[in-house]
Structure 1
Amino acid sequence: MERSELLARLGFAPPEACRVRVIIDTDAKNEGDDDFAILHHLLTPQFDVRGICATHFEVKTTQRGLPPHSMERSYQEVCRLLNAAHIDDVPVLHGCTAPLASPEDAPDCEAVEFLIQEALRDDPAPLYIAAQGAMTNIAAALNRAPEIASRMTVLWNGGGPYPAGRPEFNVQQDPIACRVLLDSAVTVWQIPQDVYARFEVSLSELALRVRPCGEVGAYLFRQLMDEYPSEYDPRFPLRTGGNWTLGDNTTAAVLLENGFRGHWTLRPAPVLLPSLTYAEASDRKTIRVYHDLDVRFALEDFYSKLALCYPR
């Protein structure tokens, strides 16, 4: 069905002036939580989701000896999610298949062309890029068409905590692309690791609030549980055996919270060192860095929309 038909089940529609354009850039098959964030965006009526771009996680596949072609696997995962959600009018684009080779690298692919075309399209609604994985597609688009930097905002879910930073998964997948982002003129809203890690849920919570919500709810829960055995590592403090972190839902949360919450500060963009830690430099552009988000507000919004659009 068309997305608008699904959103009608919410029973309310925000004013047209609230509309923002969103492109989701996602490594959906990396682990189990991207799908939750994708659906959160799709179930938010003021978000005009223009398309979903698949990105790779090739560094992880190489390090863990996993099957290659991670971008294609992410692409297929998005298609499966949309099929389970019964949404057939949102385009899905193939992204870059590997990290940038240099800061000047500008590989071409469907996702890069789509990002450029949408940024240059004449539309009064602001454009936000929800970056939920490797920064490769976005950096390649900025390298190929620097003029798009003034026409969009990148919602960067990644980077280590401030002030020092530390190696963080999304950055590790393409550090060069992250440096391109920070060195460019594009507006950046960063949600660092210590903030997105707060979007913690229990598996019983997901079983109660998500699994009963139609075919897509069952799919969301099942695919996450399928991922759990391979993603659990007792040496890694993010997972305990009965929890998960819906960390990518932050890219919806930052667009849903009101501007008076005081959850972010402005600071010079850090210099990303070879160690993937931060160095400060006063002559850098200013970026928005979140130090908190209202987890209850964001997750209840997701659960409520899911239940309204896919009643039990």
Structure 2
Amino acid sequence: MWKYDFEVPENKKIRLIVHTDCKNEADDQYALAHHLMTPRFDIRGIVAGHFWKNPQEYGELGTAKASYDEVLKVMDLMGLANQYPVLMGAQRGLEDETTPIPSDGAKFIVEEAMKEDTPLYIACQGAVTDVASALLLKPEIAERIVIIWIGGASYPDGGFEFNLMMDINAANVIFSSKAELWQVPMDVYKQFGVSLAELQLKVKPCGEIGKYLFEQLVQFNKKAATTFESVWPHGELWGLGDQATIAVLMEELEKVSYDMIKAPHIDKDMHYIHGQENREIRVYRTAETRLTLEDFFAKLMINFGA
């Protein structure tokens, strides 16, 4: 399928589900494409997540469907139509910390987790509603999964962060569970900065998918500048923060770029409440931005460049 002059040994591959709110903004599509082009990842399926508190033109209950349609579009432009199962997640966040939303996405996570004894990694780029629902539906999967989550504000205090805002209840479910959790907070995923000129040079020339990735980002950059009353976006820069799930899974094992801390509770203002009797989780303090971004550019050029 890919044009690499190397192979990844089977015993070095990992079983992976990609969970993405793929139409929320413009970096999600880049991360999805990168996951799909990475041969170390044995991708079992893709779950399309909601962004219901920032519905834009899709309507409060239409955001998961927008993500689902965008996943299919990216796969089609990459020549991967129908190559992987694509499931739709919940339309909104959890009502509380005990009641799951049994979406197709949550059920798929349960089924895939129980299928084999090897760990199932779940790369979460958005709200964790569907992973939390899967844990509530079948708590036994906690010992079979590794959750990588792009979300939460900086430690130790926390505060506002977009992915966490989408479902605080779900975040508390995964924080208090027994599942292995790797958290990439905002101060780390914000390290994945690029310029639009860099993307024009390295992404746009790479086939239909490269052209689409670049042009949809430019369009969203223009749209966001007139929609959101804040310093974001910056005009000529963008953050490919969702690439952080690839970064932590591609990292050299000898490098320790995270702290192990007792998982906190998260209050309604998105602050971390420490001193809980939860298990320890990984909280990343840095990430391999250069390696990850250059790996993405190289894979895009190898597979879709002229």
**Which structure 2 residues correspond to residues 136-155 of structure 1 after superposition, within 5 A?**
136-155=129-148
Identity rate of aligned residues, in percent? Answer: 39
- Is contact 1:197-1:247 (8 Å) kept? yes
In the other structure, the counterpart of 1:81 is 74
Deviation at 1:238, TM superposition (A): 4.6
1:71–1:97 CA contact under 8 A, matched in 2: yes
2:63 alignment partner AA: S
Q: Following superposition, which runs of at least 4 residues in structure 1 exceed 4 angstroms of deviation?
A: none
Q: Deviations over 1:83-142 (max 9, x none)?
A: 111113111101111111111111212111110000001253x31101101111111111
What is residue 272 of structure 1 aligned with on the other side?
A: 266
Structure-1 separation of matches of 2:38 and 2:57: 37
- Relative to the length of structure 2, the TM-score reads 0.96
**Residue 213 (structure 1) aligns with:** 206
- SS at the partner of 2:291? helix
> Shift of residue 283 of structure 1?
2.2
Question: Deviation string for 1:221-250 (max 9, x for gaps)?
Answer: 111112112323785345310011000000
Aligned twin of 1:285: 279
Q: CA RMSD in A?
A: 1.4
From 17, 27, 39, the equivalent of 1:23 is: 17
Unaligned regions of 5+ residues in structure 1, if any?
none
Q: Which residue of 2 aligns with 1:184?
A: 177
- Between the aligned partners of 1:130 and 1:262, the Cα distance in structure 2 is 19
More off after superposition, 78-87 vs 260-269: 260-269
Q: Aligned pair 1:94/2:88, yes or no?
A: yes
Q: Deviations over 1:232-275 (max 9, x none)?
A: 37853453100110000000110001122221110110110111
Does the aligned pair in 2 maintain the 1:32–1:223 contact within 8 Å?
Answer: yes
Answer yes or no: is the 8 Å Cα contact 2:35–2:41 preserved in 1. yes
Distance 1:269 1:65 in 2: 36
Give 5+ residue unaligned stretches, structure 2.
Answer: none
1:106 matched to 2:106? The reply is no
Q: Residue 43 of structure 1 corresponds to which residue in structure 2?
A: 37
May I ask how many residue pairs the two structures share in their alignment? 303
Matched, 1:162 2:155: yes
Say which SS state the counterpart of residue 60 (structure 1) adopts: coil
Q: Is the 8 A contact 2:117 2:144 kept in 1?
A: no
- Which residue identity is paired with 2:221? Y
Question: 1:195 maps to which residue?
Answer: 188
For residues 142-165 of structure 1, what are the alpha-carbon distances to aligned partners after superposition, in whole Å with 9 as ceiling and x for unaligned?
100000011010001000000101
Q: Distance in 2 between matches of 1:118 and 1:169?
A: 28
Equivalent pair of 1:37/1:249 in contact (CA under 8 Å): yes
